[in-house]
C-alpha cells in the first residue's frame, strides 16, 4: 500500500497475529497505552481481525508496518476514531525504538491519509510522560489543544490540520 525507505505499510494478515501478540505483551510497549496493561494473545487476535474487517468497511485503519529489510512486523500506524474524530496513532515494537522508524513511518502515513481520505484534520493523544511520542507528534506538526487526564495520568490532546 505504502512504502518508506525502510518500511512497508500494509493491511493485516493472519500471520501477523503471533508477532503482534508478542509486541502488545511487552510492558514497555504498553506503558503509555490505556491503563498500561499488557494485552493477551486473544486481545491481539481480536485486534487483527477487527482491523481486517474495518479495512473492508472503510479502507482506513491502523495499518500493519513491517521492516523492509527483514519483513518483520514492527507494529502499526494509522487512523481510527476517538470521540467521533479521526484519530492518528502508532505503536512499534521496542526493538525498533530510537532508530528513526517512528518519525519515518508516521510522516508517510499521515501524509497518505490526509490526501487519500481527505481528512483535513485529525487528533492524537499522548501521555505527557511519553516524550518520544510527543517529539514525533510535534515533528509532524501536531499542536496541543488541551491537557487532561486518563487513567490518573496527565495527557495532551493534539490536533493536526492539513495545509
How do the pLDDT tens digits run along the chain, 163 residues long? 899 999 999 999 999 999 999 999 999 999 999 999 999 999 999 999 999 999 999 999 999 999 999 999 999 999 999 989 999 999 999 999 999 999 999 999 999 999 999 999 999 999 999 999 999 999 999 999 999 999 999 999 999 998 7
> What's the CA gap between 76 and 128, in Å, rounded?
21
- Exposed e or buried b for every residue in 40-76, given b needs 16+ CB within 10 A? eeeebbebbeebbebbeeeebbbbbbbbeeeeebbbb
Q: Which residues contact 135 (CB under 8 A, 6 or more apart)?
A: none
3-state secondary structure of 145: strand
Q: pTM to 2 decimals?
A: 0.95
Predicted confidence at residue 26, as pLDDT, reads: 98
> What's the CA gap between 113 and 68, in Å, rounded?
21
Amino acid at each position: 500500500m505504502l512504502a518508506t525507505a525502510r518500511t512497508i505499510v500494509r493491511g493485516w494478515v493472519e500471520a501477523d497475529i503471533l508477532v503482534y501478540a508478542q509486541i502488545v505483551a511487552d510492558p514497555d510497549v504498553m506503558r503509555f497505552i490505556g491503563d498500561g496493561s499488557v494485552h493477551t494473545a486473544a486481545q491481539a487476535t481480536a485486534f487483527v481481525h477487527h482491523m481486517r474487517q474495518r479495512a473492508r468497511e472503510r479502507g482506513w485503519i491502523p495499518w500493519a508496518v513491517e521492516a523492509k529489510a527483514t519483513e518483520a512486523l514492527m507494529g502499526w500506524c494509522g487512523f481510527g476514531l476517538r470521540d467521533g474524530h479521526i484519530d492518528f496513532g502508532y505503536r512499534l515494537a521496542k526493538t525498533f525504538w530510537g532508530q528513526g522508524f517512528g518519525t519515518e513511518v508516521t510522516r508517510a502515513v499521515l501524509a497518505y491519509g490526509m490526501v487519500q481520505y481527505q481528512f483535513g484534520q485529525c487528533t492524537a493523544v499522548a501521555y505527557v510522560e511519553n516524550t518520544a511520542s510527543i517529539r514525533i507528534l510535534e515533528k509532524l506538526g501536531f499542536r496541543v489543544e488541551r491537557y487532561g487526564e486518563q487513567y490518573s495520568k496527565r495527557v495532551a490532546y493534539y490536533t493536526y490540520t492539513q495545509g
